[in-house]
Amino acid sequence: MDDSTKRLLQRLMRRIPSQMLQTILDKWAHLSREDLHSLDFTQPKWVLTEHLLALCEENGLRVKHITELEMIYIIENPNQGMWHGFQLLDAEEDAPSIELTQFKEQFKANLTELISHVSIKIKKHTDEAIWIRVAWGDNFTKPYHLKPTYVVHHLQTPYVFVTGVTSKHKPLLNQALVLATRYSSMKDAHLSGRNLTAIRDLLMRQYQQVFPTKHPKPLQEKNPVPRNPNIEKEQAENTENRLQMACEAFGDGTLPQLQKAVYKLETKFRDNSNKTLTGREEPFRGVVEFASTNLLESLRHCVSSGMASTPVTPLLSSITQKGRNYFVITDKGV
Amino acid sequence: MSLLKPFSKLPGLNTANILLVENEEQFQQKLADTVVLQEKTVNVNVRLARSLPLPMENEESRPRIDLVVFIIHLTSELSFQSAETSLKYLDPGYFQGKVCFLVTNARNVSVPPERLVSVRKLAASLHCPLLCAEDQTTEGVTTAAHRLLAILKVAAGLVPMATGLYLSTLTRCTVPSDIDQQNFE
């Protein structure tokens, strides 16, 4: 094993938390049963890493095996790094009938045509998602494995999720994906976050949605608190209405975990009390950013508790309705 | 304007009704539970609202409100403004011992002192008592409930020889004339 492979394995071992180590090594299945048993998982991690390095050398494992290990780890824990959502546009006739082997061949062929030194690994996960790991090199250097790009695509859907791609490689990746999936182009869905499951759920509308009804009945509470007959709420209807509107805009139950919503303003300044800034021709540029550990949950609470006025402004509800969290607002609308 | 009137309905036997008005709707629930639990001799009904005016639909079923308590969280300017606008919907008859102000976070360092001063001035101008409460611990909630019950029983006429007006002359908030120059050294 050469130095760069050893470094890759050491870096990877540092990343994987100790509790998951055993399960991931089991899944990897490149070490024999006796080898795995010989590893003592109660030792400190650096001791374990040395031991593992020795075992890999014995078994003659190479870079491609280590990258497989990394891929298994990332597939198990996808919610790290920054994921970006993309949408494929204008499907051609045979796009819905693409199946796995065809996609794999096409993608590998396209990408290796564009860049000769790439390392590509494609894997199909149990939930029908295709995971692709790409390590980029260029015409003169070998692929650099310490900064790989991961792509997740669900076949027959027009959505692609990418993490770790630089602006240099993005157009190449886009082109390879577009050709392999038989669409005509790919655009940025303007949705990004740390949590892959959240982004996927939001784009593919897989969270619990609430639809407006003509005859609203109050939303069933999960644990109805026994009401004391002596205590009565005067404005209970208002509270229910607010809760209903909040859930219509953002969803019910556990919401996808978004961290940020960014609104880039390119509107003219409008405030009659400030004469110097109002009435200028150029737009007043500003950026409004909402950040939270779970943004949709916070916004839903703001609306249901009355902090944000109802009906919910379309600026906020378009986060869920359009599935994006980056908006550019001009004077003519979003 | 739909004013809330103090004497337009008949009182209930051994009953006292309190209305808690709070913009944030957080503290009032805890307070309501404690008040109802604490009081054993008198039948206490608690009505919770976010602001006044109260909805017309409940007009018929609503009992006579003996005490209106405005809960103001000093950490939020909106809380104070909401209470101020709600005051307009009370009949002037309430201000003779049937209104009380309850503030929370009065000891909080991050709260601008001017806000407490404005609340005090408001309470003093309306001749109402101003109570300070601590809403994060159970003892704080119990103490606040206890004090409110004491005022409520007088306002509902359940304490012999004491009326709301009489009590309010003793408990009403006063503001020293140099309050604007006061600094807490």
The answer to whether residues B72 and B106 touch, using CB atoms and an 8 Å cutoff, is: no
The reported pLDDT for the residue numbered A221 is: 59
Residues of B in contact with A235 (CB under 8 A): 49-50, 54-55
> A221 touching B, CB under 8 A?
no
Q: Phi and psi dihedrals of A329, rounded to 5?
A: -110, 120
Q: What angle do CA A275, A281, A283 make, to 5 degrees?
A: 90
- Of A215-229, A240-254, A297-311, B146-160, the least confident: A215-229
> B45 touching A, CB under 8 A?
yes
Identify which has the larger pLDDT, A273 or B46.
B46
Question: Among all residues of chain A, which has the CA nearest to that of B58?
Answer: A234
Q: How far is CA B3 from CA A5, A19, B7, B22, B54, in A?
A: 80, 65, 12, 18, 9
> A239 touching B, CB under 8 A?
yes
Q: Phi and psi dihedrals of A271, rounded to 5?
A: -155, 115
The reported pLDDT for the residue numbered A223 is: 58
> A228 touching B, CB under 8 A?
yes
Q: Do B54 and A239 touch (CB under 8 A)?
A: no
Q: What is the pLDDT of residues B57-94, one digit of tens each?
A: 888 888 899 999 999 999 989 899 999 999 989 999 88
The reported pLDDT for the residue numbered B154 is: 92
> A231 touching B, CB under 8 A?
yes
Residues of A in contact with B19 (CB under 8 A): 234
Q: Is the pLDDT of residue B185 over 70?
A: no
Q: Which two tokens stand for residue A227?
A: 């009401």
> What's chain A's average pLDDT?
85
SS3 A83: strand
> A233 touching B, CB under 8 A?
yes
Q: What is the residue-wise DSSP string for B35-54?
A: HHHH--SSEEEEEEESSSSP
CA of A231 vs chain B CAs: smallest distance (Å): 5
The reported pLDDT for the residue numbered A24 is: 87
**What confidence category does residue B31 fall into, taking pLDDT thresholds of 50, 70 and 90?**
very high
Q: What is the pLDDT of residues A155-189, one digit of tens each?
A: 888 899 999 988 888 988 999 998 888 888 999 99
Q: Could you tell me how many CB contacts below 8 A there are between chain A and chain B?
A: 45
Question: Can you point out the beta strands (E) in chain A?
Answer: 83-91, 118-124, 129-136, 149-154, 159-163, 183-193, 231-233, 260-267, 284-291, 326-330
Q: Do B33 and A231 touch (CB under 8 A)?
A: yes
Q: Which of B40, B47, B61, B152 to mutate to test the interface with A (most CBs of A within 10 A)?
A: B47
The reported pLDDT for the residue numbered B24 is: 85
Q: Is the pLDDT of residue B183 over 80?
A: no
Range among A51-60, B132-141, B166-175 with highest mean pLDDT value? B132-141
- Predicted ipTM of the assembly: 0.77
